[in-house]
Structure 1
Amino acid sequence: MWQVNESGWGTSAGAAHVRQDSPGLGFGQMLRVLDEIDYGILVINANSQILQTNHLARHELLTGHLIASVSNTLTGRNTALSEQIQMGVEHACRGQRKLVFLKIDQRELPVAFIPLSHPLETDSPSVLVLLSRQNACDNLAVRMYARAQHLSPSEEGVMISLCRGLEVADIAKENGVAQSTVRSQVKSLREKTGCSSIRRLIQRVNSLPPVVPALRIITPMPHNASEFAHP
């Protein structure tokens, strides 16, 4: 595997020096890295056959809400969704990035199709499929951020409620407290985090690194070696 030598940063070329003489991450380690990212990630070929997935993508496929794996092929819950997926794959195989919105009733899943090979290259084309994170408040980094800012459990709860889009009145009703109590907690939040407004606080939370909260026990997909599927 390629490995980046940090001493290469700041060179005249403006890029890191890449070494081939040092061992990089093994395949199993790389899969574990992908499993820790709070976005569903799949790699498919031009025929939509699934080559690799991370933990959250496997979870999304097995729930079958909007996408599924049929005979190890990425498909949609219905014909219309399958056609959108096919369109995204075709764009990516032509070297174009494509964003589609898969939707049934109130459930929506934005999906990005990213080409991993150039149309003029001789190797078999492959496509990176990125699924949106369903709920930013489930990001473990939010809890980590709360601890780093020394937020109390109630302040952390208010912060998460704000990120869910709730107003002060809604938060107060949900927790059975006075609105003045919630306003005091919001003020404390702003002071501890150094954010000048609720909007700024939400922007900061949404910009946190996507860390998966916990690896759930899940059945590995056929293309993922079972030794790399961990609970």
Structure 2
Amino acid sequence: MSMAIDQRLEAGALAAASPADPAMASTARTGHWLAGLLDQIDYGLVVLDETADALHVNRAARDWLSSAAAPLRIHGGRIEAVSVREAGVFRRALAGAVVRGWRALLAFDEGGEGVVATVGPLPGPRAAIPGLALLVIGRRHACDALTAQMFASRHGLTPTEAQVLDLLCTGLTPREIARRQGIAVSTVRSHVGNIRSKTRAKSIGRLVREVALLPPSGHALGASSGLAVS
């Protein structure tokens, strides 16, 4: 099996590739862009072997695993559950995926918020790749912040309206936004009305769904990248 998606391999392959070895150079280039591609996905993706060693961890998974409240963590290159109870559940799910090809849905309580993940066999071109499993971590928010910002710019929202839209996309109600921002609920509702007018949204629920269905917008490029609006 090609391990081009393994980040540990990418760096070495890029350094070792030479014009005299076009096959190695091609593998390095493939690993480089494929890792970048996976980093654009808003779902955390971790490729694991039967011992829970992480062969690849994308950006979203790295961010989640490094957060203080995450029920899973990466330690010494291995994925581990923080609590003893969840460790047993995770081990059984991983064994079921690698040995039997089963898929499991795992629900974690992360700081009072439910986080869902799935563990299943790693799919290949024609069948599951033996000995490997794929951990997929659910999104914690309906919309990513950069996509919401670009959507706001496209529709001419003011910075305040864009901030309200971003908070709506995280699941907050107008009353909760007012309490967090220290402003009147009527002010928030006024901003919401302006947002709906500018975006021609029939409802806030429809608007949030529209933003949530937009593709992610270049997280790996960093916060310094400019916004292009058309």
Q: Could you tell me the TM-score, scaled by structure 2's length?
A: 0.70
Q: Which residue of 1 aligns with 2:73?
A: 68
CA distance in 2, matches of 1:82, 1:192: 48
Q: Which residue of 2 aligns with 1:92?
A: 97
The answer as to 2:34 corresponding to 1:30 is yes
5 Å-filtered alignment, 1:36-185, equals 36-63=40-67, 65-93=70-98, 94-103=100-109, 105-117=111-123, 124-185=130-191
User: Aligned to 1:207, which of 200, 210, 213?
Assistant: 213
User: Aligned to 1:196, which of 190, 193, 202?
Assistant: 202
Q: Higher helix proportion, which one?
A: 2
Offset at residue 67 of structure 1 (A): 1.0
Retained in 2: the 8 A contact 1:97–1:115? Answer: yes
Q: CA 1:40–1:212 in 2, change beyond 3 Å: closer, same or farther?
A: farther
Retained in 2: the 8 A contact 1:35–1:55? Answer: yes
Q: Once the two structures are superposed, what CA deviation does each residue of 1:66-112 show, in whole Å capped at 9, x if it has no partner?
A: 11224432210021111121232133232232210122552543111
CA distance in 1, matches of 2:75, 2:139: 23
Q: Once the two structures are superposed, what CA deviation does each residue of 1:185-220 show, in whole Å capped at 9, x if it has no partner?
A: 21221122222111111222222223464678xxxx
CA distance in 1, matches of 2:203, 2:84: 45
CA distance in 2, matches of 1:143, 1:187: 18
CA distance in 2, matches of 1:203, 1:125: 38
Q: Which amino acid aligns with 2:45?
A: I
Structure 2 residue ranges without an equivalent (≥5): 3-25, 223-230
Q: CA 1:27–1:101 in 2, change beyond 3 Å: closer, same or farther?
A: same
Q: Which residue of 1 aligns with 2:192?
A: 186
Q: Once the two structures are superposed, what CA deviation does each residue of 1:93-151 show, in whole Å capped at 9, x if it has no partner?
A: 32232210122552543111132248xx7963211111122334543211111112221
CA distance in 1, matches of 2:172, 2:129: 49
Structure 1 residue ranges without an equivalent (≥5): 2-22, 217-231
Retained in 1: the 8 A contact 2:178–2:188? Answer: yes
CA RMSD of aligned residues (A): 3.0
CA distance in 2, matches of 1:29, 1:117: 20
Q: Which amino acid aligns with 1:68?
A: R
Retained in 1: the 8 A contact 2:102–2:121? Answer: yes
Is 44-53 or 54-63 further displaced after alignment? 54-63
Q: Which amino acid aligns with 2:204?
A: I
Q: Once the two structures are superposed, what CA deviation does each residue of 1:50-75 show, in whole Å capped at 9, x if it has no partner?
A: 11111232233344631122443221
Q: Once the two structures are superposed, what CA deviation does each residue of 1:6-47 show, in whole Å capped at 9, x if it has no partner?
A: xxxxxxxxxxxxxxxxx7961011111112222221100122
Q: Which amino acid aligns with 1:191?
A: S
Q: CA 1:215–1:186 in 2, change beyond 3 Å: closer, same or farther?
A: same
Retained in 1: the 8 A contact 2:47–2:132? Answer: yes
Q: Which residue of 2 aligns with 1:19?
A: none
Q: CA 1:104–1:148 in 2, change beyond 3 Å: closer, same or farther?
A: closer
